[in-house]
């Protein structure tokens, strides 16, 4: 036990004193905030400042639609009216599109059967924000138009068509609290992002550390006093402690930020993400288990490699579960109890990340948490068994990267 502790302490001190630790402690939250900003800010400016032309046979309807479009202040649209429009005007509009004088035009036909036909022609495909705005505006304008046609006074229209915003509340532990789907999404995303970064980063870190000891030929010196299994255990504990230290720093910083008056100012009136102590503890447990799974896996792999470059070739093995989990993020957020959400959060390599999403969306039933933790512990045990056997032999093998049949043979050595 003494040597496990000594190896762990050495590993911990070397990493915590190192430059990489300081850089990542600052850089990861900065990068994270940057990504968040990059996601939120442009969405406000998506589809803005468009120059559109409304071409309709009915000037009154065109004017209504124009009012609706201009009413959306965020969009900053410039809308011209061409009414009444004749079929021949379409060619003129095309030439204006070619000359880039306008971004698009809305062509409205009102056939005899009374069902309007609306077409949006633009130079850019996939501008779903503008399409979305048009959709809402056209339909509102149509409703207003039909209501007027039914003989209701134009002055009554605003009252009749007034919108209501839905207020969302989160019911938890017998209390309703204001919440917002967007903030929940970003918060879940944030938790998963930090968890992923730390789990995978420190998992790879163990692999790199094994390679470094192998290339610097320190292993044989160490093995004359320390058992291979003690070295592996010390390394896992030491580097895991570095990860926990980093998370503790972030939590402390986050807590300080959130309790400052500044944060109070930002947050008033908006919904705050809801986190309980239980969730924080569970997130730490998922970090520890996730880290244990990835790091034992990479320790075993690293022992079969000779250089860091060779180890890098195995990195996609860690990236696949991460992609899978992040690809599922919006699905899990809106369907936290779907069978797919449950299944992916039971799959050990994805558990830590997807469970972080699920905590913020809707707290999963206790049995699901227990089952996912149990599955993780079992898979860690299996991976540890395999890795420690490969590690024991691999660290003394120099030269080339081991092939799969060689690794299988190593498993049988005593």
Partner 1 sequence: MPPVVALDRISKAYENKIAVQDLSLQIDAGTMFGLVGPNGSGKTSSIRMMIGITMPDSGSVSMFGKPYARESLRRVGYLPEERGLYKKMKVMEQLVFMGELHGLNPAVAARRAHEWCERLQILEVAQKKTEELSKGMQQKIQFIATLLHDPELVVMDEPFSGLDPVNAALLQDTLIDLKKAGKAILFSTHRMDQVEKLCDAICLIHHGYAVLSGGLREVKSRYERDRVVINFEGDAAFLGHPAIESFKNYSGQAEIQLKPHADAQDLLRAAMERASIYRFELMEPSLEEIFIRTVGEKIDA
User: What is the contact surface with partner 1 in residues (CB under 8 A)?
Assistant: 3, 6, 10, 14, 18, 212-213, 216-227, 396, 398, 414
Compute the distance between CA of residue 350 and CA of residue 355 in angstroms, rounded to an integer: 8
Q: What CA–CA distance (Å, rounded) separates 104 from 107?
A: 10
**What is the closest distance, in whole angstroms, from the C-beta atom of residue 206 to partner 1 in the complex?**
16
> 95 vs 414, which CB is nearer to partner 1?
414
| 19 vs 100 by CB, closer to partner 1 | 19
CB 190 within 8 A of CB 33: no
Residue 75, phi then psi, degrees to nearest 5: -75, -25
Q: CA torsion 147→151→153→156, rounded to 10°? A: -40
Cβ proximity to partner 1: between 20 and 253 the closer is 20
Cα dihedral sign, 259-260-261-262:
negative
Q: Which is nearer to partner 1, 149 or 224 (CB)?
A: 224
CB of 16 to partner 1, least distance (A): 12
The residues that bridge with 81 in the sheet, in sequence order, are 54
Cβ atoms within 10 Å of 184's Cβ, excluding its own: 20
Residue 8 or 85: the one with the smaller Cβ distance to partner 1 is 8
Based on DSSP, count helices (H) and strands (E) in the chain, helices before strands.
Answer: 18, 6
Cβ proximity to partner 1: between 144 and 213 the closer is 213
Residue 138 has which token pair? 């056209």
State the minimum distance, in angstroms, from the CB of residue 242 to partner 1. Answer: 14
Query: Shortest distance, CB of residue 247 to partner 1, whole angstroms?
Result: 23
DSSP states of 1-53? -HHHHHHHHHHHHHHHHSHHHHHHHHHHHHHHHHHHHHHHHHHHHTT-S-EEE
Minimum Å distance from CB 226 to partner 1?
Answer: 6
User: How many residues comprise the chain?
Assistant: 414
Rounded to a whole number of angstroms, the minimum distance from the CB of residue 189 to partner 1 is: 35
Instruction: Please check whether residue 243 is in contact with residue 202, taking contact to mean a CB–CB distance below 8 angstroms.
Output: yes
How far apart are CB 401 and partner 1 at their closest, in Å?
18
**Rounded Cα gap, residues 373 and 382, in angstroms:** 14
Beta carbon nearer to partner 1, 6 or 244: 6
Q: Assess contact for 277 and 190: CB atoms under 8 A.
A: no
């Amino acid at each position: 036990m003494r040597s496990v502790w000594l190896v762990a302490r050495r590993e911990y001190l070397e990493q915590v004193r190192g430059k990489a630790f300081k850089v990542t402690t600052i850089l990861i939250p900065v990068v994270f905030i940057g990504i968040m900003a990059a996601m939120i800010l442009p969405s406000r400016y998506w589809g803005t400042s468009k120059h559109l032309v409304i071409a309709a046979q009915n000037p009154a309807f065109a004017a209504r639609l124009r009012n609706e479009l201009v009413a959306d202040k965020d969009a900053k649209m410039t809308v011209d009216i061409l009414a009444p429009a004749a079929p021949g005007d379409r060619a003129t509009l095309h030439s204006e599109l070619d000359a880039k004088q306008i971004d698009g035009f809305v062509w409205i036909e009102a056939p005899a059967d009374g069902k309007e036909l609306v077409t949006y022609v633009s130079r850019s495909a996939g501008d779903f924000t503008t399409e979305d705005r048009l959709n809402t505006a056209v339909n509102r304008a149509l409703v207003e138009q039909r209501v007027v046609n039914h003989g209701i006074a134009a002055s009554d229209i605003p009252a009749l068509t007034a919108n209501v915003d839905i207020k969302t509340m989160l019911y938890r532990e017998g209390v309703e609290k204001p919440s917002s789907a967007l903030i929940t999404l970003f918060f879940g995303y944030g938790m998963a992002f930090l968890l992923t970064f730390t789990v995978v980063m420190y998992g790879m870190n163990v692999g790199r550390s094994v390679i470094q000891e192998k290339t610097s030929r320190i292993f044989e010196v160490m093995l004359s006093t320390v058992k291979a299994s003690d070295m592996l255990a010390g390394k896992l504990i030491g580097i895991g402690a570095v990860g926990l230290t980093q998370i503790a720093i972030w939590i402390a910083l986050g807590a300080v930020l959130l309790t400052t008056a500044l944060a109070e100012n930002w947050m008033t009136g908006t919904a705050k993400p809801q986190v309980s102590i239980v969730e924080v503890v569970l997130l730490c447990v998922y970090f520890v288990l996730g880290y244990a799974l990835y790091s034992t896996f990479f320790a075993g792999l690293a022992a079969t490699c000779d250089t860091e470059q060779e180890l890098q070739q195995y990195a996609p093995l860690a990236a696949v579960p991460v992609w899978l989990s992040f690809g599922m993020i919006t699905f899990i957020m809106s369907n936290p109890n779907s069978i797919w959400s449950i299944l992916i959060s039971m799959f050990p390599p994805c558990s830590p990340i997807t469970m972080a999403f699920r905590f913020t969306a809707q707290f999963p039933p206790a049995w699901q948490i227990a089952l996912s933790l149990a599955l993780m512990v079992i898979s860690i045990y299996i991976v540890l068994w395999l890795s420690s056997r490969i590690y024991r032999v691999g660290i003394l093998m120099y030269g080339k990267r081991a092939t799969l049949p060689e690794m299988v043979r190593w498993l049988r050595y005593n």
